Amino acid sequence: MEKQIKTALISVYDKEGLESIIPLLNQHNVHVYSTGGTYNFLETKINTITKVEDITGYPSILDGRVKTLHPSVFGGILAKRSDDHLSQINEYNIPTIDLVVVDLYPFEETVASTDDQQAIIEKIDIGGIALIRAAAKNFNDVVVIPSKKSYHSLETILKTGDGKTSLEERQVLAAEAFDISSHYDTAIFNYLSNGKKKEQALKLSIQNPEVLRYGENPHQKGIWFGESSPMFEKKTGKELSFNNLVDVDAAIQLMAEFENDPCTFAILKHTNACGVATRSTVSEAWYAALAGDPISAFGGILISNAAIDLQTAEEINKLFYEVLIAPSFDQAAYDLLSSKKKRILLEQKHFQRQSKNFKSILNGVIVQDADLKQDIQTDLTSVTDVKATDEQIEDLLFAHKLVKHLKSNTIVLAKNKQLLGMGCGQTSRVDACKQAIEKAGRMGFDLEGCVMASDAFFPFPDCVELGHKAGVVAVIQPGGSIKDQASIDYCNQNNLAMVFTGTRHFKH
């Protein structure tokens, strides 16, 4: 049964991405109820908006711990659209809520970034989880958007569905909501139990290691101590090899940067991305990613953040590849791709990012915090007279996501959210820059108007000069060199924009 979205409750931690759905909510005259910081963000942007406290009669209390936990909120979400329930909520002047949009406190990210237990505990979301579960339970009448990564689903509903949802759509989103809720609670359990569940899983994997066909090379033995089921389901194909596992991990870590973006496709070879693009459809993203280096794509690892449809599958099927990873496959696409029995299809469940990195060295092991920092527009500091345009900022952030996952020294050239050329694993940043420019040229790309990203600062202006002569118009780098001004001066003299992130993403 179709349901029209007339009212919405929006309560999110991260406001990024809301801008894309605001005009659509206004277009469909959706009355929005909101809380705290979300209300402040939306107040001047939404045509009709009401503070939650105006319907509950209570302000946010206990330092924000209690905002939405009230019958006037949950009654409007949980009420069936039956005469009995509607008469009860009307008696108490409770508005019905047709849509619930939530983005939870970043608990896992906080655990990964600090040891301050109080700060971590405060990032345990109570109201948000309750809202998600209530809306998901009442999916017969209510739409739930359980995280910012689902905003694209809401955009589709508001654009193509004219603000109406089918029961099937609501049930799919409800299942996704309980999946997120379950994962969130598990993360909290793991933290509060000092990782006992993980330790038990590790012990189990140590007791039951998987013997691989061989290691990095045929003369090397390989064993895997791990558990893949929380991250992906192997749908078809031969057993994952040592190199497959290393490449799959690299692919998943890279695509985690684009988890909440529009359709993005990446092609990796030996853990390095050789083609990446973001487009409005998965097939367009595939074509643009393949154009980055169709030769290196042969025998590569393919990953998408969007479902694989038949049109895309027909094109992918023309290429020899080792592994294809996607959140789902249309049935026709799956039937086609699985017909080649050795090729591996993985259906991804979660971008489960580890908080620690381990490496064996010198007859021992070193451990570090994983680089989970995701730079966003508010992290950027413009340091030149010429300011980057909005389109250039999008390309700069796109390119910056890529340098983080390429071996240093690395330079990335990008335009229109497409990887044009990259130089990586070079002992000289100048060599990396030359390699990126030369490769883009070999692939037939016009670099005029492109942007350049560097994983570390420029101690000299040489790379900026090389990039400028090739067509670069904007540069993103961490900054921090005592000679930063030399690169800034070159940009000012040649009308280039440069932004600093303040964070280095060196990958040794």
CATH number at residue 308: 3.40.140.20
The mean pLDDT value for 403-419 works out to: 96
State which of 192, 221, 241 marks the end of a domain.
192
On whether the CB atoms of residues 304 and 278 are closer than 8 A, the answer is: no
Task: Provide the pLDDT confidence category of residue 113 given band limits of 50, 70 and 90.
Answer: confident
Domain match, 14 and 128 both = yes
Q: Are residues 284 and 386 in the same domain?
A: no
Stronger pLDDT, 58 or 196, i.e. the higher one: 58
What pLDDT score does 43 carry?
85
The tokens for 179 are 């999946």
**pTM for this prediction:** 0.64
Q: What is the pLDDT of residue 165?
A: 87
DSSP three-state, residue 265: strand
CB contact at 8 A, 394 and 417: yes
Q: How confident is the model at residue 151 (pLDDT cuts 50, 70, 90)?
A: confident
* The CA-based dihedral angle spanning residues 121, 122, 128, 130, taken in that order and rounded to the nearest 10 degrees: 50
Q: Is the predicted pLDDT of residue 446 greater than 60, yes or no?
A: yes
**Six-digit token pair at 346?**
């993985």
CA proximity to 168, closest of 346, 362, 382, 2: 2
Residue 206 is predicted with a pLDDT of 53
Judged against a pLDDT cut of 70, whether residue 181 lies above it is answered with yes
Quick one: pLDDT band at residue 323, thresholds 50, 70, 90?
A: very high
User: Residue 109 belongs to a domain with what CATH number?
Assistant: 3.40.50.1380
Percent of the chain with pLDDT over 90: 49
CB 304 within 8 A of CB 283: no
Q: Are residues 156 and 14 in the same domain?
A: yes
DSSP, res 407 = P
Under 8 Å between Cβ of 3 and 28: no
107-120 average pLDDT score: 85
- The closest of 329, 292, 327, 332 to 443, measured between CA atoms, is 292
Say whether both 329 and 449 belong to one domain: no
**Residues annotated as part of the active site:** 137, 270
For residue 389, is it within any domain?
yes
Task: State residue 324's pLDDT score.
Answer: 97
242: left (phi over 0), alpha (psi -120 to 50) or beta: alpha
* Amino acid type, 9: L
| Cα 13 from chain centre | 16
Q: CA-CA distance, 469 to 484, in Å (whole number)?
A: 20
- The answer to whether residue 171 is domain-embedded is yes
Cβ atoms of 272 and 407 within 8 Å: the answer is: yes
Residue 207 resides in a domain: no
Q: Is the pLDDT of residue 450 over 70?
A: yes
Specify whether 34 is located in the same domain as 173.
Answer: yes
How far apart, in whole angstroms, are the C-alpha atoms of residue 9 and residue 32? 6
Average the pLDDT over 478-492 and give the result: 94
Instruction: Compute the distance between CA of residue 58 and CA of residue 71 in angstroms, rounded to an integer.
Output: 12
Residues 12 and 110 placed together within one structural domain of the fold: yes
> What is the structure's pLDDT at 100?
92
**135 and 255 fall within a common domain:** no
Task: Give the pLDDT band of residue 224 (cuts 50, 70, 90).
Answer: confident
pLDDT, position 279: 96
Is residue 274 within 8 A of residue 298, CB to CB? The reply is no
Q: Per-residue pLDDT tens for 329-371?
A: 999 999 999 998 889 999 988 776 777 888 888 988 898 888 8
Is 247 in the same domain as 337? yes
Residues 21 and 155 in one domain: yes
Is residue 325, in this structure, part of any structural domain at all? yes
> What angle in degrees, to the nearest 10, is found between the helix axes of 167-192 and 127-137?
150
Query: Which of 135-139, 162-166, 469-473 shows the lowest per-residue confidence on average (mean pLDDT)?
Result: 162-166
Token pair recorded at residue 101: 């949009």
- Closest CA relative to residue 103, chosen from 53, 147, 140: 147
Q: Name the 3-class secondary structure at 256.
A: helix
Give 217's contacts (C-beta < 8 A, 6+ positions apart). none
Question: What is the spatial distance between Cα 304 and Cα 308, in angstroms, rounded to a whole number?
Answer: 8
Question: Which carries the bigger pLDDT value, residue 88 or residue 411?
Answer: 411
Instruction: With respect to residue 354, please indicate whether it lies within any of the assigned structural domains.
Output: no
Q: What distance in Å separates the CA atoms of residue 275 and residue 497, rounded to the nearest whole number?
A: 25
Label residue 158 by pLDDT band (50, 70, 90).
confident
Contacts of 499 (CB under 8 A, 6+ apart): 380, 381, 382, 383, 388, 393, 396, 474, 475, 476, 477
Phi/psi-derived region of residue 471, left when phi > 0, alpha when psi is between -120 and 50, beta in every other case: left
Instruction: Check pLDDT > 70 for residue 204.
Output: no
Specify the 3-state DSSP secondary structure of 36. Answer: helix
Q: Would you call 206 helix, strand, or coil by DSSP?
A: helix
In the structure encoding, which two tokens stand for residue 333, read together?
A: 């696409």
- For residues 179 and 278, membership in a common domain is answered with no
Q: Which of 165, 192, 219 is the last residue of a domain?
A: 192
Confidence tier at 37 by pLDDT (50, 70, 90): confident
* pLDDT (mean) for 292-310: 94
Q: Do the domain assignments include residue 483?
A: yes
The side-by-side arrangement of strands in the sheet containing 49-51 is: 49-51, 31-34, 7-12, 99-103, 143-145
Note the pLDDT of residue 194.
Answer: 67
85 and 186, same structural domain? Answer: yes
Regarding whether 187 and 44 lie in a shared domain, the answer is: yes
How distant, in Å, are the alpha carbons of 39, 234, 254, 311 from that of 259?
25, 20, 9, 22
Of 73-77, 204-208, 351-355, the range with the lowest mean pLDDT is 204-208
Whether residue 30 contacts residue 7, with contact meaning beta carbons closer than 8 Å, is answered with: yes
Helix, coil or strand: residue 408: coil
pLDDT digits (tens, 9 = 90+) for 238-266: 888 999 999 999 999 999 999 889 999 99
Q: How many CB atoms lie within 10 A of CB 41?
A: 17
Q: Which amino acid is at 245?
A: L
pLDDT over threshold 80, residue 59: no
Residues 6+ away with beta carbon under 8 Å from 88 = 75, 79
Residue that wins the pLDDT comparison between 441 and 108: 441
Number of structural domains found in the chain: 3
As given in the structure block, the two tokens for residue 165 are 């949802």
Picking from 58, 62, 97, the residue whose alpha carbon sits closest to that of residue 76 is: 97
Least confident of 6-10, 107-111, 309-313: 107-111
Residue whose entry in the numeric block shows the structure tokens 């299942």 = 175
Mean pLDDT of 48-77: 78
pLDDT value, residue 65: 67
Range of 242's domain? 231-348
Residue 203 banded pLDDT, cuts 50, 70, 90: low
**Which residues make Cβ contacts (< 8 Å) with residue 204, sequence separation at least 6?**
227
Task: Report if residue 356 sits inside a domain.
Answer: no
Please report, rounded to a whole number, the percentage of residues in the chain having pLDDT higher than 70. 96
For 246, the enclosing helix (H) or strand (E) is helix 242-256
> Rounded to an integer, what distance in angstroms lies between the CA atom of residue 204 and that of residue 402?
35
364 in a structural domain? no
By the 10 Å C-beta count (0-12 exposed, 13-18 middle, 19+ buried), 444 is classed as exposed
Provide the residue type at 237 as one letter: G
